[in-house]
Chain A
Amino acid sequence: MEIEDREEIGGYTLLRYSWESAIEPGQFAMARVAGYPVTFDPFLARPFSYYDHDSETASLLFEVRGRGTALLDDARDRIEVSAPLGRGFRIDESRGPAALLGGGIGVAPLKILSRRLNALGVCHDVFLGFADTRYAAVAEDFPGASVATVDGSAGIHGTVLDAVPDLERYEAVYACGPNPMLAAVKRAVGDRVICQLSVEERMGCGNGSCNGCVVPVRDGGYVRSCVEGPVFDAEMLAW
């Protein structure tokens, strides 16, 4: 894919490329630098939730965490990106208002989800938690969002859950972030409303083959986050 546009937002990088086919909010793509397989190192592609899609342009938001993401961050012309993968959020249009909770790079799928909820006319609020003000800069792309930072340098001092004044009023909660955050969201929400969690897992193949990206489920055993997820009903997970 040709990179149409590249932008640095706070501590994150946003890459836009032309993509017209449908993308469900919460789905992800496997991405890597172009030129493979000349370099087998890093070996695997990286999974990223779609950040946004406007019927012509798709975008990926990511944080440089290692060599794979550093190379993607250096890319200026082309990257290799898969088609949309996995199961995204299952939106029940009749259930509103909805709360969207994102932690760190977990804010990524909330942009495209918010766009979809707007199109469906589902009333919703966005709550974003970050380590510090540098990362919180991406919240400018979420008008009206409430922000919390762990160090208190922007918004409310605390976690994303501290930014939600009244969780009880929501009939649906959609969240993405580190697994401990998602576990906390699940505990806070309880089982009275729809609660869907997009998990962050290390992935190998992205197509269900390697069984590397599993999460533990309530009934015992594990399921693959790339095929059965990455968005799960909270009640299904053994956290």
Chain B
Amino acid sequence: MKNDLQTLQLAIELCGIALETPLIPASGTMSKEALGEVAGVYGAILPKTTTPKERAGNPPPRIAETPAGMVNSIGLQNPGIEKFLEGLDDFDLGVPIFVSVAGDAVDEFVALCDCLAGDDRISAVELNLSCPNVEHGGLTFCAGPTSVEEVIGACRAAYPGKPLFAKLTNEGVVANAIAAEESGADALTVINTIPALTIDPESQSVLVRGGLSGPAIKPVALRAVYDVSRAVNIPVIASGGVSTGTDVAEFMLAGATVVQVGTISFVREPGEILREFSEYLDRMGTTASELTGAL
């Protein structure tokens, strides 16, 4: 448990929301079953991405281990927005709840925002823009600034008054970030997994075609956070390969306001990362809020 000094040291503000710590879980990496391990660690809770209707997800194999990381192709398995909201109270740890949403078309994103706009339990919405847009031949919503502007502009209108985050992929991230800010996003989550492939040489077949995450992608994410935070005037939420307390510090120095903890939580207690970060702040004689962009 944190003492008073640590409380002051770790507190941060994101889009007007007071967070007790600058760590939040990356979407899709923390289940209800794992909540017990993260009480007091995360400044906000961010459950797995929700879509309008239930999704079964992709057939296995869905994950493959790679050096310092893993490739996943889960396929956004989730029970759909209605059941998700019925179970939302399970995620109540007394900290703000952010909700990640994804759709196949702009209309689906808008419908999701409509569902969430009046829900007092939810402090912010994160748009997962890495999924294919069926209206644009399957290119993702992050395919370019025009696509980003279209979906964020529509969601902004449907979700007024509360913070709207856009989660962006690495490719074209600076141009998309500028477009996201101009179309009304309040913060940018940078980055999503990186397209990747694993092959099983024994069976001579594709094992998993999906997204790479874990420590392996940290330098890529760090560069994206650094570049984006210099191109926009809204907060950046770092995501990608964070695995230690000093990684958190590096992302904040690069310009992040808060940092998402994802794949590493499969193999390390997130509390250890927070403890290391707190030790770093002690050693440097600084606080989390002073660290952002302090390079």
Contacts and interface: CB of A to CB of B under 8 A. Distances in A.
A221 B30 CA distance: 20
A214 B60 contact: yes
B60 A215 contact: yes
Interface stretch (B69-77, B137-145, B183-191, B252-260): B69-77
Contact of A211 (B59, B66, B74): B74
Contacts of B59: 216, 222
Interface string B243-283: 11000000000000000000101111000000000000000
Interface string A191-210: 00000000001101111111
Nearest to B25: A209
B99 to A, nearest CB: 17
Nearest to B56: A221
11 contacts: A40-B243, A43-B69, A68-B65, A204-B70, A204-B72, A205-B29, A207-B34, A209-B266, A210-B28, A210-B63, A220-B56
A219 B72 CA distance: 24
Contacts of A178: none
A222 B68 CA distance: 27
Interface of B: 28-34, 37, 48, 54, 56-57, 59-70, 72, 74, 77, 214-216, 243-244, 263, 265-268
Q: Which of B28, B31, B64, B69 has the most CB of A within 10 A?
A: B31
A37 B72 contact: no
| Interface size band for A | 20 to 34
B33 A42 contact: no
A207 B25 CA distance: 15
B interface secondary structure, majority: loop
Given A37-B243, A40-B214, A207-B34, A212 B69 contact: no
Interface in A65-111: 68
Contacts of A42: 65
A173 interface: no
A210 B29 contact: yes
Interface of A: 32, 36-37, 40-45, 68, 201-202, 204-216, 220-222, 227
A interface secondary structure, majority: loop
The 9 residue pairs across chains A and B that have the minimum distance between CB atoms: A212-B63, A40-B68, A205-B266, A208-B31, A208-B33, A221-B56, A209-B31, A41-B67, A207-B34
A45 B267 contact: yes
A211 B57 contact: yes
A41 B28 CA distance: 22
B70 A209 contact: no
Nearest to B272: A37
Contacts of B244: 37
Contacts of B32: 208
A211 B49 CA distance: 12
B33 A227 contact: yes
Contact of B267 (A36, A201, A214, A220): A36
Nearest to B66: A43
B38 to A, nearest CB: 10
A222 B61 CA distance: 12
A227 B31 CA distance: 10
Nearest to A221: B56
Contacts of B216: 40
Contacts of B57: 211, 214, 221-222
B62 A212 contact: yes
A193 to B, nearest CB: 28
Contacts of B74: 210-212
B118 to A, nearest CB: 29
Contacts of A202: 60-61, 63-64
A222 B34 contact: no
Given A37-B244, A42-B65, A214-B62, A205 B265 contact: yes
B77 A43 contact: no
A202 B34 CA distance: 19
Contacts of B29: 205, 209-210
